[in-house]
Structure 1
Amino acid sequence: MSSYYRLFGSKAKDCVLADGAVVSAGNQAWLNSTADRLNATIRRSVASVNASGRARVARYVNAAQLFRGHGFCDKGARWVFGPIEVALGVDAAAIAHPNYRGQAAYALAFLRARIA
């Protein structure tokens, strides 16, 4: 099972997306904390499955750490689809999902977990 990434960095300022939409610092913090809570739930669920007495059958892969600095309004290259990609023809359902860089980060996280 994999973690979810934070959509925004930890800057406490509004984020203006490519289409002019503004995401307030408060909404960014809420969205990021939602990802953190979801990750904690996934981590606990994996631990519960593994503690059930059966052979270890699940692993928690922390891909979120690789995404730091690559969300909306971060300085690094964005690893998630945003409004600009939709304007260029990407399905709107892809917004906030990993782009090819994000998919590569997930692949790396799973590869590292397999090797560890």
Structure 2
Amino acid sequence: MVKRIGAVFAALGLTFSMLAIAPPALAAPPPGAAQVAFGDSEAAGTGNLLYVDRSCLRSRVSYPLILKAKSYACASATTTDALTQIGTAVAAQQLGHATRLVTVTAGVNDLGWQQVLQTCYSQGDAACQAALAQAATALPGVGARLTQAVGAIRQAAPNATILVTGYPRLFGQISKPCTVGWLEGTKIVVTANQAAMANAGVNGLNTVISSVVTGFTLAGDSKVDFVDVASLFSGRGLCDTRPRWIYGVIGVPVLSNASLHVNAVGQLAIAAAVWRQR
């Protein structure tokens, strides 16, 4: 009997020792969707049916959803809204160690861009220049908030490639007035000067966005990159001779959400560019 009890305790001791040296159970996979997108109507694909979220005018034909990303993009979003989107993604554990690609498209709505363009084509060159100059005063804030956004993404998703996109120039290099659409029965005509000023405004915004990316690169983060949408869309804008990748002003009978937004072919082109740089 004593031998039997001794054998039981010996077996228990062996079991306990095996438990002590057994490797720990595998930890749960780190949180985070593989691909996540933040931004405004360019990232939401606004104007391209069908919408998966009508409140944000987020289209199935948007570059993030073409790439199978979890998208928080929303029409009219500013850089401040992008920061809120990032916070929402972190809270939902959609942005984390498992995330491998994050895209950001934000900045143009901070400038009140739609209102600037409306001033340009309705009030003439002088008013257009003044509106663009006023919009440019918002650029430092855009740079600061985009820097904060990329920093927040990097903190939450240390393994991700972060791609920050620019914006397309709406117009080509034109030498005479160009019709870009209709609004409530009125033809919308842009002069060569207005087109040049608007393109310069986009160039200024893209320079700020690119400089934010450069700042992270110089600080040693080689996985932050700029997607040059303006160059990608060269020759594809309104008034260009090649097929447009941007919708004109569609205002019959009222202004459409598609007006001056990237069309489906343009969204596919951005998706391909992002995929190449991932």
Residue of 51, 59, 78 corresponding to 2:244? 78
The amino acid across from 2:263 in the alignment is N
SS of the equivalent of 1:11 reads coil
The two structures, once aligned, show a CA RMSD in angstroms of 2.0
Q: Tell me the residue number matched to 1:36.
A: 203
1:16 matched residue in structure 2: 179
The 3-state SS of whatever aligns with 1:79 is coil
| Structure 1 CA distance for aligned equivalents of residues 197 and 218 of structure 2 | 31
Aligned-partner residue type, residue 198 of structure 2:
L
Q: Which runs of 5+ in 1 are unaligned?
A: none
Residues in 2 aligned to 1:83 and 1:46: alpha-carbon distance in whole angstroms:
32
Whether the 8 Å CA contact 2:178–2:189 is kept in 1: the answer is yes
Q: C-alpha displacement at 1:57, in angstroms?
A: 4.1
Paired with 2:245 and 2:253, the residues of 1 have a C-alpha distance of 16
SS of the residue 1:22 aligns to? strand
Shift of 1:88: 8.5
The DSSP-based 3-state class of the residue aligned with 1:21 is strand
Matched ranges for 1:61-100 at <5 A? 61-84=227-250, 86-87=251-252, 92-100=256-264
- State the 1:72 CA deviation: 0.8
Structure with the bigger RCO (C-alpha within 8 Å, sep 6+) is 1
Q: TM-score, normalised by structure 2?
A: 0.37
Equivalent-residue separation in structure 2 for 1:43 and 1:50 (angstroms): 11
Q: For the pair shown, which has the larger CA radius of gyration, 1 or 2?
A: 2
Supply the distance in 2 between the matched residues of 1:77 and 1:27 (Cα, whole angstroms).
21
Within 1, Cα distance between the matches of 2:169 and 2:204?
Answer: 11
Please give the per-residue CA displacement for 1:29-77, whole angstroms capped at 9, x wherever unaligned: 0110011111111110111122234x33421011221211111111111
The normalised TM-score by structure 1 is 0.83
Take 1:16 and 1:81, find their aligned partners in 2: how far apart are those partners? 12
